[in-house]
Amino acid sequence: MRIRTFIYGITAIGLSALLCRCAHIGNITGGSKDTTPPQILSQHPEDYSTRFHDKEIKITFDEFVELVSPESNFLISPPLDENPQYHLKGKTLVIDFKACNLDSNTTYIVLCDHAVKDYTEGNMLPAKNIVFSTGDYIDTMCLCGTIKDAFTMDAVKGAYVILHTEDQDSALCTLTPRYICKTDAKGQYMFVNIADRPYYISALTDKNQNLKYDQSDEQIAFQKQMVMPYPMPALPAADTLSGDSTALVDSLSSAGMENKSDTITTPAPALDSCHLLMFTQTDTTVKFLKKELLALYHYQLIFRNKAESFLLRQISNTDTLPGIQTEMVPTRDTVHVFFTDTINETFEFQIEINGIPTDTIELNPGQKPPGSRLTKKSDDDKKYVSTGIARQGTLFQHLILKFGYPVQVRKEHQMRMIVPKDTVKDTIYVDSHFTDSLQRYLEIDFDFSQEKTAYTLLCPDSVFYTAYGWTNDSIAITVNTAAIKDFGDVNLYYNFYATNTYIVELLNEKRQIVQSDTITYNKKISYLHLTPGKYTARVIIDENSNGRWDSGKYVERIQPEKVIYYPGWIEAKANWTIEETFDVVTEEKQ
């Protein structure tokens, strides 16, 4: 008994030592992360089956999967009155057609667009087409292209591309499509296995998922002429069309790719053979949206769209007429209202936009705002109007001040500039002028001509007065100028192939407009004193010469005005002059 106990004890000690030794070897890991998408093991019926009369299609994967928004990530063409049902049984995806009425002698394409992912890591099944026919043959035509934003020329992802067979201007608004597909991240789309006949093509960012253009904020695109599909090219593998759709897109854009069918050889068309530009149709209706009390005696009225003219007409308590000043911002969708009388009483006003009476609003000149822009000194009741910088002065531009309220009175020759010169400082009295009708923006008439210099603008208090008797506090603003060599110049030669009205714009790296000009034919424009960095250029073909870009109109079949971007970036370098040429080539010239 003792021997047995001894043996058990020795064994336990040995195991303990072995485990302790193993514990110091390292941590147990779960291995590398699974990045492989689900693999299809079988499908019944198989792709490209004809005489399809089954009620369901079953696709079995090598692992458990889950569905991702099947109502929007599965698309079937031609569309059905009742869509198939999509559900899972174990590792099998079931596409249920029991409630569907399939047309006879028709090729159907079910697009699975990132609708299936594996259960554990979320790896997506690549876009897959499931093709079958209720007749004796599979349609073999295709159509590819790109969708871009008409103004930015950026690719539009996730747009519905739609084919109709009916010759009707409002087909996108009222009719059911014949075929549908969606664009990828590059804005590319691809129709496969469609019937050999001409189509009307359009595109839509379908916000309510009804495949119709019925919301004003939806983007649309269309082509006036019918388009013809072309034979699908031969691919290296027979199952490529039902797998990653990129293979077909690449094949259509490859030089020299041919479709071989017995004795007929057809060159594959270019990928962008059907290129569409999307736009949001401009709603020109001007509508009053809301009022905001920004400060004491200061309201802001906001409108939808631009107002050419604006009038505020008092319609109540007309025995008392408070003074009003209005100012429309440059975008013409906002109006600032300043009351020059401080009466605390509510009045009703009629808004007239473009000469037409619209809404009525109530305004109280003396209503107290939640906060005030005024500051008050502790030793008296003197109130000060806020003063800020609307545009910073530099070596090449004037300084502009902005007052919080319109200025009624100002004292002349009170502002002065301190100018360093060697070891002394000169004091120069400067002139100024208001740049707006309400006298809120004051431009200082002084050229900052010295490089690497710190100028100081000084203005004593009580020089500018508002209608309420408020005045400015003392002003001291420093303007530091850089060296001329710190800036760069760009000479850009615009070459056109037709006389037209062109809006040419220089854009910075954030695509903000640096300078805008209107020209009619070839011209060199010098962009001077640029901050070093990347720039590009944009040309708008201003067909109606109204000085702005206009989007299209679908029902009237009007395309948006063309926008052409410089192909790349122009690097402005300090103390350099760059010479570049922009050959503005339109599609007609190409």
- Give the CATH number, domain containing residue 356: 2.60.40
Last residue of a domain, one of 138, 162, 194: 138
* The three-state (H, E, C) secondary structure of 435-447, written as one string: CCCCCCEEEEECC
CB 48 within 8 A of CB 138: yes
CA–CA gap between residue 381 and residue 383 (Å, rounded): 6
147 and 276 fall within a common domain: yes
The answer as to whether 509 is a domain residue is yes
Task: Tell me the C-alpha to C-alpha distance, in Å, between residue 203 and each of 98, 179, 275, 567.
Answer: 30, 11, 11, 26
64 and 112 fall within a common domain: yes
User: Structural domain of residue 166, as residue ranges?
Assistant: 141-280
407 and 527 fall within a common domain: no
Q: How many domains does the chain have?
A: 5
Task: Tell me the C-alpha to C-alpha distance, in Å, between residue 284 and each of 48, 192, 346, 420, 432.
Answer: 49, 39, 32, 54, 39
CB 334 within 8 A of CB 305: no
Q: In 262-415, where do the E strands start and end?
A: 264-267, 274-280, 287-295, 298-304, 310-314, 324-328, 334-339, 347-353, 356-363, 375-376, 383-384, 387-391, 400-403, 409-410
User: Torsion over CA of 120, 122, 123 and 124, rounded to 10 degrees?
Assistant: 130
Q: How far is Cα of residue 444 from the mean position of the Cα atoms in its chain?
A: 37
* Verdict on whether the full-model pTM lies above 0.85: no
The answer as to whether 589 is a domain residue is no
What element of type H or E holds 22?
Answer: helix 2-23
> Dihedral of CA 205/210/214/216: which sign?
negative
Residue 502, domain CATH: 2.60.40.10
428 and 356 fall within a common domain: no
CA–CA gap between residue 142 and residue 208 (Å, rounded): 27
Q: What is the pLDDT of residues 487-515, one digit of tens each?
A: 999 999 999 988 899 999 999 999 999 99
The answer as to whether 198 is a domain residue is yes
Q: How far is Cα of residue 408 from the mean position of the Cα atoms in its chain?
A: 42
330 and 430 fall within a common domain: no
CA–CA gap between residue 522 and residue 527 (Å, rounded): 16
Residue 45, domain CATH: 2.60.40.3710
Q: List the strands of the sheet with 523-530, edge to edge.
A: 523-530, 488-495, 577-583
The answer as to whether 358 is a domain residue is yes
Q: In the beta sheet, which residues pair with residue 57?
A: 95
The contacts of residue 105 (CB under 8 Å, 6+ apart) are: 133, 134, 135, 136
273 and 152 fall within a common domain: yes
Q: How far is Cα of residue 546 from the mean position of the Cα atoms in its chain?
A: 23
Task: Tell me the C-alpha to C-alpha distance, in Å, between residue 511 and each of 257, 303, 515.
Answer: 38, 26, 11
Last residue of a domain, one of 215, 248, 280: 280
Residue 382: predicted pLDDT:
75
Residue 168: predicted pLDDT:
67
Residue 21: predicted pLDDT:
44
Q: How far is Cα of residue 82 from the mean position of the Cα atoms in its chain?
A: 34
Residue 472, domain CATH: 2.60.40.1220
Last residue of a domain, one of 482, 517, 551: 482
210 and 270 fall within a common domain: yes
CA–CA gap between residue 582 and residue 523 (Å, rounded): 10
CA–CA gap between residue 451 and residue 536 (Å, rounded): 28
CB 299 within 8 A of CB 363: yes
Q: How far is Cα of residue 335 from the mean position of the Cα atoms in its chain?
A: 26
Q: Give residue 177's identity as a one-letter amino acid code.
A: P
Per-residue pLDDT of the chain (590 residues; tens, 9 = 90+): 444 444 444 444 444 444 444 444 444 455 567 788 999 999 999 999 999 999 999 999 999 999 998 888 898 999 898 889 999 999 999 999 999 999 999 999 999 888 999 888 889 998 889 999 999 999 999 999 999 999 999 999 999 999 998 876 677 777 888 999 999 999 999 999 999 999 999 999 877 677 777 777 789 999 988 999 999 876 544 343 333 444 444 444 443 333 333 333 334 444 446 899 999 987 778 889 999 999 899 999 999 888 888 999 999 998 899 999 999 998 889 999 999 988 899 999 999 998 889 999 999 998 988 755 545 544 456 789 999 999 999 988 999 999 999 999 999 889 999 999 877 788 999 999 999 989 999 999 999 999 999 999 999 999 999 999 999 999 999 999 999 999 999 999 999 988 899 999 999 999 999 999 999 999 999 999 999 999 999 999 999 998 999 999 888 889 999 999 999 999 999 999 999 999 998 755 44
The answer as to whether 6 is a domain residue is no
267 and 382 fall within a common domain: no
Q: Which residues of 314-330 are buried (b: 16+ CB within 10 A; e: fewer)?
A: eeeeeeeebebbeebee
122 and 201 fall within a common domain: no
* CB neighbour class for 425 (10 Å; exposed up to 12, middle 13-18, buried from 19): exposed
145 and 276 fall within a common domain: yes
Task: Tell me the C-alpha to C-alpha distance, in Å, between residue 287 and each of 270, 386, 551.
Answer: 45, 31, 20
170 and 273 fall within a common domain: yes
The contacts of residue 232 (CB under 8 Å, 6+ apart) are: 140, 141, 142, 192, 193, 241, 248, 259
Please compute, for residue 3, the number of CA atoms within 13 A of its CA located in the half-sphere on the CB side. Answer: 0
91 and 163 fall within a common domain: no
